[in-house]
Amino acid sequence: MVNPVPVSVCRALGADIVIAVNLNGDIVGKHTPKPSSTKSQRSGVVRKITDLVTDYTSSVFPATNKEQPPSLFDAIASSVNITQDRITRSRMAGDPPDILLSPKLAHIGLLEFYRAEEAIDEGYECVQRMLPEIRHVINLS
């Protein structure tokens, strides 16, 4: 959380060239499709709190469409994503990497380990897109 893309650590350890990978480059604004029936999937305290918040907000801000409001977990996850994005941008502004790789992974959930091959493929494609820049920076040393 404190240093999501640790460029400064790499430089402190003596790296001449830093190629950083920001896995959260496109995470802010991520919208995941909601299942049609989320109430039945929730249980216990989370369901009660989410239902209470949903009831309250729907009475204050009546819905004009059929879109579901975000769940409590979605709101917390979005807050963490925004915070992490801002910390990453701030840290890299002060100590930018020589190369920044930002694979597009927002469509893959935090716990979707079964999609590892898809994430690896996107990482490979990201490197291929940046290969001319990587070669340029490495040849300068």
Over residues 65-121, the pLDDT tens digits come to 567 777 888 888 888 888 888 999 999 999 999 999 999 998 888 788 999 999 999
What is the pTM assigned to this prediction?
A: 0.67
Query: Residue for token digits 């790789």?
Result: 101
Q: Measured between alpha carbons, how far is 119 from 57 in angstroms, rounded to an integer?
A: 36
pLDDT band at 27 (very low <50, low <70, confident <90, very high): confident
Q: pLDDT tens, 6-20? A: 999 999 999 999 999
Task: Tell me which of 25 and 39 has the higher pLDDT.
Answer: 25
Per-residue b/e over 65-84, b at no fewer than 16 CB within 10 Å? eeeeebbbebeebbeebeeb
State the pLDDT at residue 17: 94
State the pLDDT at residue 75: 83
State the pLDDT at residue 38: 47
In DSSP notation, 72-109 reads: HHHHHHHHHHHHHHHHHHHHHHHS--SEEE----TTS-
Tell me the mean pLDDT in the region 21-28: 84
Angle separating helix axes 72-94 and 44-60, nearest 10 degrees = 90
Whether pLDDT at 63 is above 70: no
Cβ atoms 105, 54 nearer than 8 A: no
Cβ atoms 33, 115 nearer than 8 A: no
